[in-house]
Amino acid sequence: MRAVRAAARLQWWLMRGGLDERQSFVLAPLFVLLFAGVVRARGHEELTAQAALGATLVCLWNLCVQISGGVVANERRFGTFELTAAAPAPFPTVVIGRVTTVAAVALLVVPEVWLATLLFFGEAIEVPHPGLFLAGIVLITFGMAAVGTLIAALFVYARNVVYLQVAFTYPFFILGGLVVPVSLLPEWVQPVSRLVFLSWGADLLRAALNPEAPRDVGMQIAGLFTVSALTFAAGWLLLTRLVDRARGHGTLGRA
């Protein structure tokens, strides 16, 4: 636990001064203008809240991929990866502390998007089912930490981090149901989308914003937790094996 707290403090300190870490917060109001502006221009003002939710999820995913992916990449760039891997605390524990901090800070996007929607369109977003919305946010935070762990693991041996970050960004806007609900995607894509935790999380938050009584909530919560847990386990296992392999072959400095 001490290692997790120390890693969290380190990540918080690093995020305070980096422009890259603030990029999604700067772009959040622009995503609100884009998403909500499009639906309102088509005469669907009732979808403003759903469009704002899409902007929120896009920003959350961007923060998760960009910053979590840089956790290991920056260690390598600054020449501290070997020291971190050789520390007494397990390397996955350090990564988890850092990506969890990223996920927690990313939640600041939620009030930012809500405020931007009010300022730009004069519409306050109401949440008819606040308990469900809060549960969805908590589970999505866990999912972001899980994905951050997996991405950090994949970036251990990555030669070009930028390509991987792009691959994990734009395709997942569709697969994760961030732009449109998964139910509107082609049938052959939908099973693939369900492997992405945000596809369940997006459906759960949309249900929380819908005035009607939520349906299939149990399945959505179970799917969100299950996919997040499996992603976390895969990230932990892959990260441990990659670091152990690099140690065994003496290739940490060239990884």
Structure confidence by residue, pLDDT tens digits, 174-226: 888 887 788 888 888 888 899 989 899 999 999 999 888 888 888 999 999 99
CB atoms within 10 A of CB 217: 17
Q: How far apart are CA 42 and CA 39, in angstroms?
A: 5
pLDDT for residue 229? 94
* Phi and psi at residue 226, to the nearest 5°: -65, -50
**Side-chain-facing half-sphere of 40: CA atoms under 13 Å:** 16
What are 107-152's pLDDT values in tens digits? 889 999 999 999 998 888 889 999 999 999 999 989 988 888 888 7
pLDDT for residue 255? 45
- Average the pLDDT over 227-231 and give the result: 93
CB atoms within 10 A of CB 38: 12
Q: What mean pLDDT is reported for the chain?
A: 81
Closest-CA residue to 206 (of 228, 231, 178, 185)? 178
10: CB partners within 8 A, 6+ apart: 98
Highest mean pLDDT among 69-73, 159-163, 212-216, 220-224: 220-224
What is this structure's pTM?
0.84
Q: Which residue has the higher pLDDT, 135 or 251?
A: 135
Is the alpha carbon torsion for 100, 200, 220, 47 positive or negative? positive
**H/E run at residue 63:** helix 48-77
- Average the pLDDT over 53-64 and give the result: 87
Residue whose entry in the numeric block shows the structure tokens 């960004």: 169
Q: Does the structure show a pLDDT above 50 at 254?
A: no
